[in-house]
Structure 1
Amino acid sequence: MCKFQVEELSLLLKDTEWPFTSIKSHRQIVRAIVFDEAGFFYFVGVSRDDEFGKSDSIETSGGGVEQGESQMHALNRELKEELGIEVEIICKLAQVEDDYHLLKRHNVSHYYLCKMLSQGMRQLTEMERNHLQLSVIKCRYNEAVQFYGENTSTPFGRLVSNRELPVLKYAKQIIDEKHLL
């Protein structure tokens, strides 16, 4: 459960990188801005070479909510799989709707602010290990902002940065206002 509520950021983004043909699927996604008591933030590094092109980028940890699964359960599952961490969910930060024209998919991403409690072994799927080559990125806020800026050198990276940078900035504002560090 969330520790407290904040005004939820709401974004509706358009894919300007690839032409629209149709939307064939809709996906509910959970994502987390994770920080620790020392002021580090945790992200996933993604190294891909697929239909989106070749890119190395930073993203928040998260993924799809499975049929019959709650957002909280999905969030905890994804954070254990991708980062190997357990968290305290502080609050829901944002809802971001965007389309990936290349996948013909509409996404609704639910972002949560989370504080890391413990870190253990990751539980990556074969695709996450071999195809996306997921890694853990631990960095300070300013470094994360810089990494997102570097994302904008590729079409896929621009989609990710447009979706996540406003949420990261809002998360930092909440952390500062609520004195969470």
Structure 2
Amino acid sequence: MLFKELEDKYFKNEGFSSIRRTVRGLVKDADGNFVMLKIEGEDFFGIRNHYETPGGGVEVGEGYEKALLREMEEELGVLCEIESFLGMVVGHYNLLNRINVERYYVCRIVGETSSNQTDVEKVLIKGIEHKPLNEWLEILKTGDSSVDKLVHDRDYQAFKYYADQCNM
């Protein structure tokens, strides 16, 4: 189920050279709050100061659900149980000349493990925050930079779709 296609209105479109398959988690903790990564720093995107759902690319030969559970362990240091597949956001990222097909899942934390973040993630991930859904929906309506707005809009669409499906 595709619930949103996002056009990049911040960077010039010079065509797309690749498609990336990704998985992202709307991760619930034991209190029913949702977990997001706090991203700060500078990379090829520019200065970043935003929140982001945990997730990432699907490796060659890896299934979507396996990739999701791996990403939750790597980025959050948690074991998760998948509750449901929510749907997809297709994002056009002009700066990367890439289209991302983001598969969102709803999952809940069932245990802890050690994280195994990449070197880039170790630099950019400044923390993990737990907040109720309504707070995330408000936070994700804003962003300081173009990259912050792109990421927040993508994740806002997923949280909003989830809220609509649950009649919240």
Instruction: Answer whether contact 1:63 1:78 (CA < 8 A) is retained.
Output: yes
Which deviates the most, 55-64 or 159-168? Answer: 159-168
Task: Choose which of 141, 146, 153 in structure 2 pairs with 1:149.
Answer: 141
The corresponding residue for 1:136 is 128
The corresponding residue for 1:99 is 92
The yes-or-no answer on 1:167 pairing with 2:166 is no
The yes-or-no answer on 1:25 pairing with 2:18 is yes
Aligned pairs for 1:12-161 within 5 A: 12-130=5-123, 132-150=124-142, 152-161=143-152
Instruction: Answer whether contact 2:50 2:152 (CA < 8 A) is retained.
Output: no
- Runs of 5+ in structure 2 lacking a partner? none
Q: Alpha carbons of 1:80 and 1:148: their partners in 2 closer, same or farther (altered >3 Å)? A: same
SS in 2 for 1:149: coil
Q: Alpha carbons of 1:175 and 1:37: their partners in 2 closer, same or farther (altered >3 Å)? A: farther
Give the number of equivalent residue pairs. Answer: 168
SS in 1 for 2:26: strand
Partner amino acid for 1:77? R
Q: Alpha carbons of 1:172 and 1:35: their partners in 2 closer, same or farther (altered >3 Å)? A: farther
CA shift for structure 1 position 155:
0.4
The corresponding residue for 1:5 is none
TM-score between both structures, scaled by the size of structure 1:
0.85
Instruction: Answer whether contact 1:82 1:134 (CA < 8 A) is retained.
Output: no
Partner amino acid for 1:146? E
CA shift for structure 1 position 116:
1.2
- Runs of 5+ in structure 1 lacking a partner? 1-7
CA RMSD of aligned residues (A): 1.7
Q: Alpha carbons of 1:134 and 1:26: their partners in 2 closer, same or farther (altered >3 Å)? A: farther
Instruction: Answer whether contact 1:27 1:106 (CA < 8 A) is retained.
Output: yes
TM-score between both structures, scaled by the size of structure 2:
0.91
SS in 2 for 1:161: helix
CA shift for structure 1 position 126:
1.2
Instruction: Answer whether contact 1:9 1:93 (CA < 8 A) is retained.
Output: no
Between Structure 1 and Structure 2, the one with more strand by share is 2
